[in-house]
């Protein structure tokens, strides 16, 4: 058996392509090798000046379809219920440079190894009886002091493990330019203080988790578990609070974030822009910063777009269906561009579609390599789900990149 394992390991090394040992982010000029096959391409990192086109900077999701500028409409002002004045006049280049400053890190083209993320799975050398014995006595904190800590922290049973895991993720991995924040659901039907019901998820019942994922490789950077109401009344502006908590370690780095209408607020977009972070959100039509005129279906033809500007924010109202208007807000895009061919989607929506599915992809990858086991203890359920994320997704990505 040992000889057979040695032969398999030797064949695996022979079949593995040569990859130069580089860091998690490929920088120009970090190798002394003169070999053309292992040296960095000269144009891997591009410096884009303020006067160059946005197409070179924001190429994610916008270079797959040819784009065109919409005709310049007559100047008009739209008043939102909260007093915000939106205008359909495209800002001059001087104002666009303020948004370009938010893309300091996005001006770099991130590269890396393109090997397959498929990993070998080995059969566990443990009996079923031994495995369930270990699961029975599995604990993540000091049981004697748990009740005292539970009075102030509902996740006291697993808090110490969560904090150490996040610290290790922050110190080990450097994310690329685009991030996404979204919800995921840990399937669980046992007794717990924070069981939720989500119709948009296949399992419906479980523990809700907010996750921050790298778009390029679906690497999970941060997560936060929903613990229910903290008082008699529901939490106000929960989406804004969760968004800032997720991005706390990555602000002022020039990255961009994509989120849905749970987190989409004009106040959140402005706060992130102040901290050198661009954002792309979908907006609910009931928000007070949305003018009433832009959500009326009968006024606009099918597949038409209306672009509005206010300070460093741009909002587009796109009529996707006869009775459906899609609202997207961005502090990254500054030009009213749409697809040349039908259905003439705006460039903002193309970018949103290409960067929004990170968390859903993580759920799909977990379903293929699933180590979840049936249990009535919610700390064990969380631990097994994090084992799926760290062992099945994050660790192979780090191995392939390094």
Write out pLDDT tens, residues 248-258: 999 999 999 99
Range with the poorest average pLDDT among 5-9, 57-61, 78-82 = 57-61
Name the pTM for this structure.
0.74
Tens digit of pLDDT for each residue in 325-377?
999 999 999 888 899 888 899 999 999 999 998 899 898 888 876 777 888 88
Strand 278-282 to 324-330 pairing: antiparallel
Q: At residue 10, does pLDDT exceed 60?
A: yes
Q: Residue 140's pLDDT band (boundaries 50, 70, 90)?
A: confident
Query: Which pLDDT belongs to residue 11?
Result: 62
How many CA atoms does the CB half-sphere of 104 hold within 13 Å? 11
202, 255 Cβ separation under 8 angstroms: no
Residues 6+ apart with CB under 8 A from 336: 69, 70, 90, 305, 307, 316, 346
Q: Compute the C-alpha angle 270/272/274, nearest 5°.
A: 70
Closest CA to 382 of 220, 207, 167: 207
How would residue 319 be classed by pLDDT, with cut points 50, 70 and 90? very high
3-state secondary structure of 228: coil
Question: At residue 55, does pLDDT exceed 80?
Answer: no
pLDDT of residue 75: 83
Q: How far apart are CA 252 and CA 243, in angstroms?
A: 15
What's the pLDDT band for 275 if we cut at 50, 70, 90?
Answer: very high
Round to the nearest angstrom and report the end-to-end CA distance of the chain. 30
Of 140-144, 226-230, 326-330, 380-384, which range is least confident? 140-144
Length of the chain: 402
Q: Of the candidates 39, 63, 123, 54, which has an alpha carbon nearest to the alpha carbon of residue 314?
A: 54
In 3-state terms, what secondary structure has residue 380? Answer: helix
Identify the three-state secondary structure at position 240.
helix
Task: Catalogue the long-range contacts made by 371-374 (C-beta closer than 8 Å, 24 or more residues apart).
Answer: 372/187, 373/135
- Nearest one of 176, 154, 284, 293 to 229, comparing CA atoms: 154
CB contact at 8 A, 220 and 389 = yes
Considering the chain, what percentage of its residues have pLDDT values greater than 90?
A: 32
Distance CA 261, CA 243 (A): 12
pLDDT of amino acid 110: 36
């Amino acid at each position: 058996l040992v000889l057979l394992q040695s032969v398999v390991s030797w064949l695996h090394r022979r079949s593995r392509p040569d990859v130069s040992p580089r860091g998690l982010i490929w920088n120009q000029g970090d190798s002394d090798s003169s070999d053309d096959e292992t040296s960095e391409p000269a144009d891997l990192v591009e410096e884009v000046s303020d006067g160059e086109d946005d197409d070179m900077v924001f190429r994610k999701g916008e270079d797959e379809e040819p784009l065109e500028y919409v005709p310049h409409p007559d100047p008009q002002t739209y008043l939102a219920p909260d007093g915000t004045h939106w205008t359909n006049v495209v800002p001059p280049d001087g104002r666009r440079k303020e948004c370009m400053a938010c893309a300091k890190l996005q001006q770099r083209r991130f590269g890396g190894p393109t090997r397959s993320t498929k990993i070998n799975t080995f059969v566990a050398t443990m009996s079923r009886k031994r495995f369930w014995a270990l699961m029975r006595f599995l604990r993540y904190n000091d049981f004697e002091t748990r009740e005292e800590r539970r009075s102030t922290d509902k996740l006291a049973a697993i808090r110490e493990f969560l904090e150490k895991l996040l610290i290790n993720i922050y110190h080990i991995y450097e994310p690329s330019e685009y991030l996404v924040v979204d919800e995921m659901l840990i399937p669980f039907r046992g007794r717990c203080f924070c069981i939720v019901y989500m119709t948009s998820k296949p399992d419906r019942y479980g523990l809700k988790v907010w996750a921050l994922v790298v778009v390029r490789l679906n690497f999970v950077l941060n997560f936060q578990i929903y613990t229910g109401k903290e008082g008699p009344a529901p939490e106000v502006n929960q989406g804004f609070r969760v968004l800032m908590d997720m991005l706390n370690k990555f602000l002022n780095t020039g990255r961009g974030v994509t989120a849905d209408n749970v987190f989409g607020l004009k106040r959140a977009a402005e706060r992130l822009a102040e901290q050198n972070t661009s954002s792309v959100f979908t907006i609910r039509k009931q928000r007070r910063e949305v003018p009433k005129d832009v959500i009326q279906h009968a006024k606009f033809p099918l597949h038409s777009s209306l672009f509005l500007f206010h300070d460093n924010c741009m909002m587009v109202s796109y009529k996707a269906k006869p009775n459906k208007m899609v609202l997207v807000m961005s502090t990254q895009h500054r030009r009213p561009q749409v697809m040349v061919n039908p259905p003439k989607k705006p460039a903002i929506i193309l970018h949103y579609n290409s960067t929004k599915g990170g968390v859903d992809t993580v759920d799909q990858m977990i379903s293929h390599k699933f180590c979840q086991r049936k249990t009535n203890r919610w700390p064990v359920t969380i631990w097994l789900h994090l084992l799926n994320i760290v062992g099945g997704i994050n660790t192979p990505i780090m191995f392939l990149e390094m």
